[in-house]
């Protein structure tokens, strides 16, 4: 006589299927005996005014009315944004030559704008005054067509000389005027 063709693995799979079928039948009978457990009310979830999921319905007194026009679906239109002057001036605050990117601080808005080495017309380093155009990139504003500004350093030198001349003039009147915060030695102190 030959051996049975049924292996241990096949018997195990058959037993698991039989056990699963019996468990399903047992659960079905339990639901029929106790219908309270499987109702629609038990499955309901509510969201309160703070966005927290609860099992109690929301309080009708806290209901707010929302105008249909105020609901925006999708991304907001960029038509409302003011037009930005594409040509700007700024200072290079950070630039990494090995990685090929950096940031420029816009002189008008004081905003940091990303710059990549592919968008440079001249080599730049930190502290350079530059002229650049702004384009909207994937993650925000990006500086393109970046050039070093050569006229600006001359103006900065003349500005730095002017305050030096004004400083001694502004100090002399201060020393001549009596300071109201310091007590005068001629007036007697009353305790």
* CATH code for the domain defined by 87-148: 2.40.50.140
Phi-psi region of 9 (alpha: psi -120 to 50; beta: other; left: phi over 0): alpha
Q: What is the pLDDT of residue 18?
A: 96
| pLDDT for 82 | 63
54-105 residue pLDDT tens: 888 877 887 788 888 888 788 766 666 666 667 889 999 999 989 999 999 9
Domain extent listing, the chain: 87-148
Residue-level pLDDT at 107: 87
pLDDT < 50 stretches in the chain: 152-177, 180
- Residue 78: DSSP 8-state: S
- pLDDT score for 189: 60
The predicted pLDDT at position 2 comes to 59
- List residues bridging with 148 in a β-sheet: 130
CA 113 to CA 122: how far, in whole Å?
Answer: 17
Residue with tokens 């700007």: 88
pTM for the predicted model, two decimal places: 0.38
């Amino acid at each position: 006589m030959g051996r049975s063709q049924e292996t241990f693995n096949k018997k195990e799979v058959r037993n698991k299927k039989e056990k699963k079928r019996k468990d399903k039948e047992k659960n079905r009978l339990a639901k029929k005996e106790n219908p309270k457990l499987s109702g629609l009310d038990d499955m309901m979830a509510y969201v309160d005014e703070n966005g927290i999921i609860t099992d109690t319905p929301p309080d009708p007194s806290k209901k707010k009315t929302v105008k249909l026009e105020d609901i925006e679906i999708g991304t907001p239109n960029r038509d409302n944004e003011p037009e930005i002057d594409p040509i700007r001036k700024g200072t290079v605050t950070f630039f990494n030559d090995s990685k090929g990117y950096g940031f420029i601080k816009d002189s008008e808005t004081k905003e940091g704008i990303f710059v990549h080495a592919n968008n440079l017309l001249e080599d730049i380093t930190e502290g350079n005054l530059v002229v650049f155009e702004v384009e909207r990139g994937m993650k925000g504003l990006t500086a393109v067509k970046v050039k070093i500004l050569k006229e600006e350093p001359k103006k900065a030198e003349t500005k730095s000389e002017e305050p030096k001349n004004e400083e001694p003039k502004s100090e002399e009147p201060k020393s001549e005027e009596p300071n109201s915060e310091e007590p005068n030695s001629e007036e007697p102190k009353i305790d």
